[in-house]
Amino acid sequence: MSRHLPPPNIADAMHRSLFVEAVRCWRSACDNGQPPQPCLYEILACNRCEMLTPVFDSLMHLCEDALGRPVAVGQPAELSGDEHLLLGLIDGSKLRSDCIACAEGAATALDCAICSTRIMMALMPVH
């Protein structure tokens, strides 16, 4: 028997903040030629969500593959279009098929990563 898990409530400030911080950490590590998982782990472990480290890493890699370019991040007080897109994909307010046109393989992989991220975020309480 499977149970339906709704998208995580990332409307609350704590979830949004953690998600955006993880996206920016991942982008910074990649831009600096560093593996992103150590940085992700450090951020997520502070909130007792370290199990999300490979989930976020996979989501970001697959998102960039589907977009065909690096994910753009915003400034401290302003989200980028890509950050808004990622938040919408995870909270369910945006459909990948409406927002990202890509090859079927990349689309399927990203759809699976979005579902996995939703499930794992729903299971991880943010502290």
Identify the band that residue 89 occupies on the pLDDT scale cut at 50, 70 and 90.
very high
The mean predicted confidence, pLDDT, of the chain is 90
**Calpha distance 76→103 (Å, rounded):** 33
The predicted model scores a pTM of: 0.88
Non-local (6+) Cβ contacts of 62 within 8 A are 106, 109, 110, 113
Helix (H, G, I), strand (E, B), or coil: what is residue 95?
A: coil
pLDDT band at 5 (very low <50, low <70, confident <90, very high): very low
122: confidence class by pLDDT, cuts 50, 70, 90 = confident
32-73 pLDDT, tens per residue?
A: 999 999 999 999 999 899 999 999 999 999 999 999 999 999
- Cα(67)–Cα(103) distance, rounded to whole angstroms? 10
| C-alpha distances in Å from residue 93, one per residue of 6, 11, 15, 96 | 12, 11, 15, 10
